[in-house]
Amino acid sequence: MGIETTPGRIAFVAGDRPDAQDAFARLTALYGQTTTEEADVIVALGGDGTMLETLRHALPLNVPVYGMNCGTVGFLMNAYDPEGLLDRLAAANPVVINPLKMTAEDRRGQIHEAMAINEIALLRETRQTARIAVRVQGRTRMDQLICDGILLSTPAGSTAYNLSAHGPILPINSNLLALTPISPFRPRRWRGALLSYDATVEFEVLEPDFRRVSATADNMEVRDVYKVTGSISSDVRMTLLFDAGAGLEERVLEEQFAY
């Protein structure tokens, strides 16, 4: 089940929006505040962007994160209600996810690493289409994809950017990754692929001096990339807490029947 805690053992973090800041003031007045390093649980106030940023900062702490929606979509968040928070935390259902690790080499030869809960995305930076070679497990699967971009999505992120790019929704326990093109021009009819959860995917940007491409791990961006590698970090575990009956698995399932 969830987390048994007491006032003064919760670390509240909030986004910049006024609603999130107001919620932060009210909740810290009700339940106190501690540092993320000393907390039993971190409560993120905001939207999905705030949750992703909070999860990234919580990575080395091994502290569960419970979100309250003070943003727009809030797919990863619970409903906002300042009352009864301790009971909700105690009854919450934990979901453990593994992030994607992105290693990106830019045109200057610098190496950048970042973690992604939702997806790794490559996107063209200019009016020129991107040209990208795709390798899976060291084998070239596509010599040249001409497109606006391409993304590699986790099950947790499959209902986000991946779905907007017409990628498949993945059940949360499916042990699959979705590889989805963004506005493919050639091959025009390619709609992507489903990959094993332990697959390593390499992207090589062709003509990188002329056709510049950026890479993002959720909301962390690297400009002018040359090579990007993505794979699941099976040794890294993130714990999200969801109210009973409103877990991530149920939300993903609901999205498959949305119309």
Same domain flag for 165 and 204: yes
Residue 119's DSSP bridge partners are 153
User: How many domains would you assign to the chain?
Assistant: 2
Which parts of the chain sit beneath pLDDT 50? none
- 168-202: pLDDT as tens digits: 999 888 889 999 999 999 998 899 999 999 999 99
Tell me, yes or no, whether 1 lies in a domain: no
112 burial type by CB count under 10 A (0-12 exposed, 13-18 middle, 19+ buried): middle
Range(s) of the domain holding residue 226: 100-232
Same domain flag for 174 and 251: no
Tell me, yes or no, whether 47 lies in a domain: yes
Same domain flag for 107 and 191: yes
Same domain flag for 137 and 32: no
pLDDT of residue 259: 66
pLDDT of residue 59: 84
Same domain flag for 44 and 122: no
- 213-247: pLDDT as tens digits: 999 999 899 999 999 999 999 998 889 999 987 77
81 is catalytic: no
Domain of 135, CATH number, reads 2.60.200.30
Q: Give binding residues as ranges.
A: 48-49, 118-119, 148, 156, 159-164
Q: Which of 48, 198, 224, 235 is catalytic?
A: 48
Same domain flag for 224 and 189: yes
pLDDT of residue 221: 96
Tell me, yes or no, whether 39 lies in a domain: yes
pLDDT of residue 224: 97
Tell me what the pLDDT averaged over the chain comes to: 92
Domain of 18, CATH number, reads 3.40.50.10330
CB 121 within 8 A of CB 216: yes
